[in-house]
Amino acid sequence: MAVPQLVTGSLYHIFSRSIAEFRIFNNDNDFQRMKGIFKYYQVAKRRVCFSHYNNAAVDGPNNICGEKLVNIIAYCIMPTHFHLILKQRRENGISIYMNKLLNSYTRYFNIKYDRKGPLWEARFQRVFVETDEQLLHLTRYIHLNPVTAYIVDSPDEWRFSSYQEYQLLDNSEENICSYQDVLKIKPDLYKKFVEENIANQRKLAAAKPSSTA
C-alpha cells in the first residue's frame, strides 16, 4: 500500500527510533550534535558544511540562512529515539530533511563509536496533525517524554527538548523552533497544562508496549 505524499504547508509528527532500542544518544555531546543537525538541515542550501557550522559559535546561524525545507514546531531527543513536529515548507521538504538528518547522525555515530551499519529501525514514521487541539496535546506528549520515562521529574529539567523555548518565548538565534504562527502560547498556562498531565501520561505509557514511541 502506497504511503500518502506529505503535503506542503501541513504539520506532521515525525519520529524515528534506533534498531532494537539501542542507545544512540549516550552523553551531552551526542544530544547536542543532534540538536545542531536538527537546525542545520532545515535550510535547503547552506553556505558551509556542518562541521564548519558546528564550530562557528558566533557566525553559525548566519551560515544557514535561506529557503527552508521545514519549520520545526517542537522536538524531543530521547536516548533511543526522537520526536519532531514539522511543517513542510516545500515539496518533499520533510523527506529531504529527514534523509539528510538521519544519514548525518549515522555517520557521526558510527565514526565516533567505531561501528558499521544502519542505526535506525526505519526511514522515519509520520502522523498527520489535523487540528490545533491535536497539535497542542501532541506538544505536551512530546515534552513529557523524558518525564514519562522517569529520566527526570519535570520537563524543564530536560535540556534536549523544545520545552524551554516554549517557556522563554524569545527569538534567540540559539532557538530551533518556529511555532509562533501555529501556536499561541502563554508560558505560565502552558507549563500548567503540561505538568498537570504527568501522572496520567505515565499511567498511559505503562499500559503500552515497550516499542511504542
Domains in the chain and their CATH numbers?
A: 11-206 (3.30.70.1290)
The answer, yes or no, to whether residue 64 has pLDDT greater than 80, is no
pLDDT value at residue 58? 44
DSSP strands (E only) in the chain: 11-17, 70-77, 81-88, 125-129
pLDDT value at residue 115? 94
Report the mean per-residue pLDDT for the chain.
89
pLDDT value at residue 208? 80
Q: What are phi and psi of 105, to 5 degrees?
A: -70, -35
pLDDT value at residue 5? 86
Euclidean distance between CA atoms 177 and 66, whole angstroms: 16
Which candidate, 122, 124, 45, places its Cα nearest to that of 90? 45
Of residues 45 and 34, the one with the higher pLDDT is 34
Q: Stretch 97-111: mean pLDDT, rounded? A: 97
- Exposure string (b/e) for 148-173, b if CB count within 10 Å is 16 or more? beeeeeebbebebbbbebbbeeeeee
Per-residue pLDDT of 69-84, as tens digits, reads 999 999 999 999 999 9
List helix spans (H) across 3-64: 28-40, 50-54
The answer, yes or no, to whether residue 95 has pLDDT greater than 70, is yes
Its pTM stands at 0.89
Amino acid at 4: P
Sheet with 11-17, edge to edge strand ranges: 70-77, 81-88, 11-17, 125-129
The answer, yes or no, to whether residue 1 has pLDDT greater than 50, is no
Q: Stretch 171-195: mean pLDDT, rounded? A: 89
- Percentage of the chain beyond pLDDT 90 is 75
Q: Stretch 173-187: mean pLDDT, rounded? A: 89
